[in-house]
Chains A and B, each alone.
Chain A
Amino acid sequence: MSLRKEALKGLFWRSDFYGASTEGGMASMHLGLLTGFIKLGHTPVFASSGRMRLPDVVNYYFIPYSKLLMNLPEVLNLPYNRKVSKSLIKIIEKEKPDFLYQHHADLNYSGTILKRKLGLPFILQCESVQYWVKKNWGKLYLKHHLKWAEEIQWAAADAIFVVSDNVKKMMVELGVDEKKIYVNRSSVNPDVFSPEIDGSEIRKKLDIESNFVIGFSGSFAQWHGVEVLAQAVKYISKLIPKAKILFIGDGLLRPKIESIIKNDNVEKSCILTGLVPFNEMPDYLAACDVLVTPCVRTGEGSEFFNSPIKLYEYLSMGKPVVATDIGEQGEVIQHLTNGMLCSEQSPEDLAESINYIYKNPDFAETIAANARKTVLDKYDWKLNAQKVIEIYHQIINKKRGK
């Protein structure tokens, strides 16, 4: 059965302020969803407040933030509502999209403005409850504004896509209509992250051709658990003397990671590559023998509600994966079938799991093949895009009273 019903045009926009960065999980998510939409034969139009790496066929509109409000945090997001809405109305008149798809951002309610003025179906994507994130992980400026803007968007949206069951649960507890929240987990483009990719060039470049290579990719942020991996290096080195741990990425925790590695005297076992362009990431992952995602919960008693894109990229590479048994990771990875689960915040357990894979190459091969199959069956961005289309049709049918 063909996934395509009719060619649609969707206006997607990213309204958060993200400076000039074109890499990272959020950029991958947008690129993946748009690529999936195109693969299904539909036409995406994209607008954002910064530069984006997009396929050439996508009509892209750059709507920058005001130059006037660039020295104070958060406030700049409020007047951007007016600016982005005015620009998007012109874009909508020109492009005539069938629906609006906004990636939710702090203090932004431009989707609500557009829906009110134009009556187009409005789909909102939420990575998290921003109010909760700012309160627990960041700095909560303009808390009333933030809460109100979020509530407005949730109420006005015809459908809300969230990345995990935990985000859905949080939103339902805050009074959002459960019937309009859909879980659409992160995914991957299996043509880009493929087992066919040869990592030998990178192994040669990094002089790790004869090593057993353990890879981590992503931001050096707390929830990624990169500290746990750094603490695990001393155990891994004892268990697997020829192990090399490849830290692919960068971030705020880098000095801390370097300090752990130095204090444990395991510098020779580690390579910190720094930021790697997105198009080179598959080559780096291909150079690894096992890939790890040691994510941790942050904040006392909080659930893990993130949807780590790297998990899907790893699985798609057809490599053995070790992940901590929390949140989405524990749901996607079936222990000893398509990967290995280990305890959260336990460097020893992480090292033991990696060692088990090292010592059992046949087992490693089996879970790697199953990992790839998991992605092809369930976690291709094309399937996410298909879900968006299905929900669009449901909204339209509901409006028509079918």
Chain B
Amino acid sequence: MKLLLLLSGNKDRLLTSHNLESADFDVIKLDEKELAKPLKMIRLIKSKRWDAIYFGTIENILQRFHFLMKLYILFSYPKQGSIIDESGNEEKYLLSEFLFFQCPKAFFEIIYSMFVIVYYYIKLPIIRCHYVKKH
């Protein structure tokens, strides 16, 4: 049995677009916000020995938190899975890709985010001063 964590979209459309059999899947509907709760997520994916973990979305490129999804696949028993969408796109979990691409990217994202936050912490009050005084 495989697990489909349905973040968005329609279960049947998702499975059909990837030629997957509905009978092979346990489907759990999941809100995107739940991905930010690691303990709950790990408990969920370890609650049963599934053969693979799939995350289903309407459109992969418009879905956030790919890093977290792949991290949860890493923590699952089979360490196999994908992020799939209704258009037939699939982003497979590969340990090497996760370690050598996703992890450095996530690290860079954190550094870049810190820069962005500081940059706008300086910039926004300047613009605000201009407008709030003027109006």
A residues at B contact (CB < 8 Å): 17, 19-21, 50-51, 64, 67-73, 75-76, 78-79, 109, 112, 142, 144-145, 148-149, 151-152, 155-156, 177, 250, 252, 254
Contact = CB atoms under 8 A, between A and B. Distances in A.
Nearest to A142: B117
A177 B113 contact: no
Contacts of A142: 117
B117 A145 contact: yes
19 contacts: A19-B57, A19-B63, A20-B57, A20-B59, A21-B8, A51-B62, A68-B108, A69-B112, A71-B64, A71-B68, A71-B106, A79-B116, A109-B124, A144-B124, A145-B120, A152-B124, A152-B128, A155-B132, A177-B135
Contacts of A156: 131, 135
Given A75-B117, A152-B132, 9 more contacts: A19-B58, A51-B59, A69-B112, A72-B110, A144-B124, A149-B124, A151-B132, A152-B124, A250-B29
Nearest to B35: A71
A75 B113 contact: yes
Contacts, number: 93
A145 B67 CA distance: 25
Contact of B117 (A64, A78, A148): A78
A73 B36 contact: yes
Contact of B9 (A20, A50, A71, A254): A20
Contacts of B108: 68
Interface residues of B, number: 38
A20 B58 contact: yes
B131 A155 contact: yes
B31 interface: yes
Interface of A is mostly: loop
A112 B32 contact: no
Contacts of A151: 128, 131-132
A70 B121 contact: no
Nearest to B113: A75
B63 A109 contact: no
